[in-house]
Structure 1
Amino acid sequence: MITIDFIDDSRVWPPLPPLQSRIESAISCSLMTIKPRLPEYAEAAFIFSDNQRVQSLNLRWRDEDKPTNVLSFASNKDHEPYSPLLGDIFLALETIKSEADEQSKSFEDHLIHLSIHGFLHLLGYDHVYEADGVEMEQLEIKILFQLGIVDPYGLENNRQ
């Protein structure tokens, strides 16, 4: 069983309950797809934040002085065995909104994609190396498909 905590860090987000429900569904779908060996009880936090806060975290922990859409902080860097406290996922409203607009995606679909992306990081998935990035993208596409969300990378259309 996993508990997901939702924290409004900025007070700039739209009403959270509908977003929380969709994120919970996305995380459940992710867990059913991946089937990680989590402890009997696990917990993750989604922090609804803004560009300013995420930029300060990005500078402090990644040495990048710019906002980004999502930042994940896993509690256990080894991921085997998983810690009951999986970690925190920060989501930057302004960046997510502008990316969704630029990419002609719905805000909620983009948010769900980034929530899954951040959650996969908590489970040890990464995209530092190209092969790992491909594996992570394929998992994201598979999970999103099950949720009725189109391939955010446009890869499905490029495979023919």
Structure 2
Amino acid sequence: MPDLVELVVEDDRWVSFTPPLAGLAERAARAALEAVGLSPEGYEISLLACGDERITELNAEFRGKESPTNVLSWPTHELAPDSPGAVPWLPPEPAGEGPDILGDIAISYETALREAMEQEKRAEDHILHLILHATLHLLGYDHETDADAALMEGIESETLVSMGLPDPYTLPDAEEASLTRQEP
């Protein structure tokens, strides 16, 4: 079975992270695709494992925000639905001449670990959630409206619970811990 996630490590602290980021990323991305009814076979995602300095540069360049954030994503396909709360379009089926690239994700070491500590979560659980969240963005899900957020958070909750992790949106102070409501 070919890897779904192509990992590019820019910050060496990710190399010594346990469990290995490659395995967490693969598990999270596969779970996201399967949660929306897609087989991971034939798709590929690129994941940049970086630190706050690099993600701040990317956040400034692509979102106009000169501050670090936990995770960023750049979808290859425009899959967003026409109306709030609707299910996004599916990406094209892989053509067989190589994987269909779903997009790119960047994750920051410092911000991800700091958030996990602040939210009293295991770092690996939080990172898995961040990559699941970013993969859903690549698949056209968003949280710009309450209806969109309810759909996306519902998929995240159900998927994480099915993986044996706690529901991040029903924990104490979940509103403060919500990925979808934070501004970096």
Counterpart of 1:73 in structure 2 is 74
- AA matched with 1:111: I
Which runs of structure 2 are paired with 1:6-155 in the superposition (5 Å)? 6-15=7-16, 18-36=20-38, 41-78=42-79, 80=89, 82=91, 84-154=100-170
What is the CA-CA distance between 1:28 and the residue it aligns to? 2.1
RMSD: 2.4
- AA matched with 2:34: M
What is the CA-CA distance between 1:67 and the residue it aligns to? 0.5
Greater share of helix residues, 1 or 2?
1
**Per-residue deviation, residues 46-70 of structure 1 (Å, max 9, x unmatched):** 1111111111111111111111000
Q: How many pairs does the alignment contain?
A: 157
- AA matched with 1:148: G
Find the residue that maps to 1:105 and give its secondary structure: coil
| CA shift in 2, pair 1:109/1:5, >3 Å | same
| CA shift in 2, pair 1:146/1:93, >3 Å | same
**Per-residue deviation, residues 89-130 of structure 1 (Å, max 9, x unmatched):** 100000011101111001000000000000000000000111
Compute the TM-score of the two structures, normalised by the length of structure 1: 0.87
What is the CA-CA distance between 1:155 and the residue it aligns to? 6.1
Find the residue that maps to 1:126 and give its secondary structure: coil
Find the residue that maps to 2:14 and give its secondary structure: coil
Find the residue that maps to 1:76 and give its secondary structure: coil
What is the CA-CA distance between 1:151 and the residue it aligns to? 1.0
**Per-residue deviation, residues 115-159 of structure 1 (Å, max 9, x unmatched):** 00000000000001111011101100111011111011226999x
Flag structure 2 segments of 5+ consecutive residues without an equivalent: 81-88, 93-99, 175-184
Compute the TM-score of the two structures, normalised by the length of structure 2: 0.76
- AA matched with 1:43: E
What is the CA-CA distance between 1:81 and the residue it aligns to? 5.6
Flag structure 1 segments of 5+ consecutive residues without an equivalent: none
Give yes or no for contact 1:26–1:147 (8 Å, CA) kept in 2. no
Worse overlay, 42-51 or 80-89: 80-89
